[in-house]
Amino acid sequence: MGAAVIGDDGRFLAMRRSDTGAWQLPGGVVERGEGPLEAVRREVLEETGVLIEPERLTGVYKNMPMGVVSLVFRCHMVGGDPRPTKEATEVAWLTLGEIKDHMVEAFAIRLQDAATTVNEGPHVRLHDGISLIAEQETRC
């Protein structure tokens, strides 16, 4: 589950993970008895201190070697203050250009897709954890 939180200025909420040091969008696992929208709200708050409201599904991403599927929702901030947490050593608002510089392709594309998916269905993409498997990209 991932959140593409877009600010009024068009920048995206990003976090540097405390366990790996990698920059990613906030997100995590849906817990038992929890729906996807509830999970994305909880994960963003836990990891960044930001309250969000999901708007729409923008992508489905599968890490082929690990067999993990992630749903990404475009979201907007409704409260809170971005801050480091036990899961994030840094929290920042980044432009798409900064995202490309800070994140591996498999994560940067999720935010790029959220920025460009307006009245179209979500992207469906496969990756290896770092790079896209480009020939498999489709749109629903």
What residues are labeled active site?
A: 90
Q: Which residues pair with 93 in a beta bridge?
A: 13
75 touches 53 (CB < 8 A): yes
Please give the Cα distance from 139 to 88 (Å, whole number). Answer: 32
d(CA 111, CA 114): 5
Q: How far from 97 is each of 53, 61, 102, CA to CA, in Å?
A: 24, 21, 9
In angstroms, the CA 14 to CA 34 distance is 24
